[in-house]
Amino acid sequence: MSEKKSFGIKAAMVIALTTGASTLITADGHDMRDAYKRPAEIPFPDENPYVEDKADLGKQLFFDPRLSRENNLTCGSCHNPSFAWEDAQATSVGTPMSRLGRHTPTVLNLAWGEIYFWDGRAETLEEQALGPIQAGGEMAQDMDQLIDELKAVPGYVERFEDVFPGEGVTPENIGKAIATYERTIVSAQAPFDEWVNGDEDAISDAAKRGFELFNTKAKCVACHEGWNFTDWGFHDIGLGDNDEGRFEVLEIDALKHSFKTPGLRNIVERAPYMHDGSLKTLEEVVDHYNDGFTDRPSLSTEMVKLGLNADEKSDLVAFMKTLSSDDPAVSLPKLPN
């Protein structure tokens, strides 16, 4: 990872271990919050380092409807920054006007990801970006036609040539530009982060109890770990539908009905939840984990009945609400025409 882009985290993060936080000490003597400190920089791969003009070009492509067959859908139609880069629907509508089989995931914080899509079928963000453009059901665009269309726009020809000298408009470079832009999409400091950094007043007592439950009795941390609250792994959490998920891509029995663990940043804004959009609220999510899941051979061994009472459930929800940051509004780019 050569190129890094700092996004303004203060270097000195001092954790104040106050007496009130004594329940947050783990079995091996650490403060539970230590595992949740935000990284200082965005990682970019050596094969596609950060360049500002490349990210700007990627943003234009992300919000350009000409990437879709009917010139009516942008990546942002489904990954809408107003809904924390989702679309507030159980499953969204693509081209032709038909419902997609899976819920739109967020594109927040994907720079730290490993493999992409709910089922992990794309190895890199670069490869991923070319998927929806061509996917029947999503943007349904023919790639050769798209290249011709973009080459007919002098402003794009110029920009691609600036960013990729001697290469210009190619599918690979469209993927690289979009991926670079996507890696810059990072959720900002949330009240939770302020608390991790030592501000005891940043979140409520209920949220603090919820955080402790998240790491202990409720077992959420087995899969939702670290500052972005994901292991980037694949699990069957017993939603009970027939989608085989990751198993369709990698035939390993433990992967039946398993889907990628989503991060939990800005989770309130991202309702409804899960790969099928079947849970409408965070309360429903907690009920699901408590005792609402379907037991079947592929169910993750980390999924057990939790026995949470009503107060504990509402504490968990209070905690998840502290993960929402007041991200600056995203402005639409000017597009060459």
Partner 1 sequence: MNTKHTICAGLLALTSSIAVSGATFAADPVRVTQQGKQFSEKNLNLVAGQEIIFINDDKVAHNVYTIVKGKKRDLGLQKSGEEDSITFDAAGTYRVRCAIHPKMKMVVKVK
Q: Which residues bind ligand HEC (CB under 6 A)?
A: 62, 67, 73, 75, 77-79, 92, 94, 100, 102, 104-105, 107, 110, 116-119, 125, 128-129, 132-133, 138-139, 178, 182, 218-220, 222-224, 235, 237, 239, 259, 261-262, 264, 267, 270, 273-275, 282, 285-286, 289, 300, 302-303, 316
Beta bridge partners of 41: 6
Is the separation of the CB atoms in 95 and 69 below 8 Å? yes
Residue 266 CA to residue 254 CA, distance in Å, equals 30
Q: Which of 241, 259, 242 shows the shortest CA–CA distance to 250?
A: 259
Q: Is 233 in the site for partner 1 (CB under 8 A)?
A: yes
Nearest residue (CB) to partner 1, 190 versus 255: 255
Q: Is 283 in the site for partner 1 (CB under 8 A)?
A: no
CB of 291 to partner 1, least distance (A): 21
| Tokens matching residue 278 | 């079947």
The angle at the Cα of 203, spanning 217 to 10, to the nearest 5 degrees, equals 110
CB of 326 to partner 1, least distance (A): 30
Residue 203 CA to residue 206 CA, distance in Å, equals 8
For residue 299, the partner it binds in partner 1, ligand HEC, none, with Cβ less than 5 to 8 A by kind, is none
Q: Which helix (H) or strand (E) holds 155?
A: helix 154-163
For residue 133, the partner it binds in partner 1, ligand HEC, none, with Cβ less than 5 to 8 A by kind, is ligand HEC
Nearest residue (CB) to ligand HEC, 139 versus 190: 139
What does the per-residue mask of binding to partner 1 show for 188-227, with x meaning CB under 8 A? ----------------------------------x--x--
Q: Is 99 helix (H, G, I), strand (E, B) or coil?
A: strand
Long-range contacts for 71-77 (Cβ within 8 Å, ≥24 apart)? 73/138, 73/139, 75/132, 75/178
Is the separation of the CB atoms in 265 and 113 below 8 Å? no
Could you tell me which stretch among 15-23, 93-101, 188-196, 231-239 binds partner 1 (CB under 8 A)?
A: 231-239
Q: Is 248 in the site for partner 1 (CB under 8 A)?
A: no
Q: Give the active site residue among 86, 126, 138, 212.
A: 138
Residue 63 CA to residue 67 CA, distance in Å, equals 9
Q: Is 92 in the site for partner 1 (CB under 8 A)?
A: no
Residue 129 CA to residue 122 CA, distance in Å, equals 9
DSSP 6: E
Nearest residue (CB) to partner 1, 43 versus 333: 43
Is the separation of the CB atoms in 283 and 312 below 8 Å? no
Is the separation of the CB atoms in 104 and 78 below 8 Å? yes
For residue 172, the partner it binds in partner 1, ligand HEC, none, with Cβ less than 5 to 8 A by kind, is none
CB of 155 to partner 1, least distance (A): 36
Active site annotation includes 158: no
Angle in degrees, 0-180, between the axes of helices 125-134 and 171-183, rounded to the nearest 10: 120
For residue 255, the partner it binds in partner 1, ligand HEC, none, with Cβ less than 5 to 8 A by kind, is partner 1
Site residues (vs partner 1, CB under 8 A): 1-2, 4, 114-115, 120, 222, 225, 231-235, 246, 250-255, 258, 300-302
Active-site residue numbers?
138
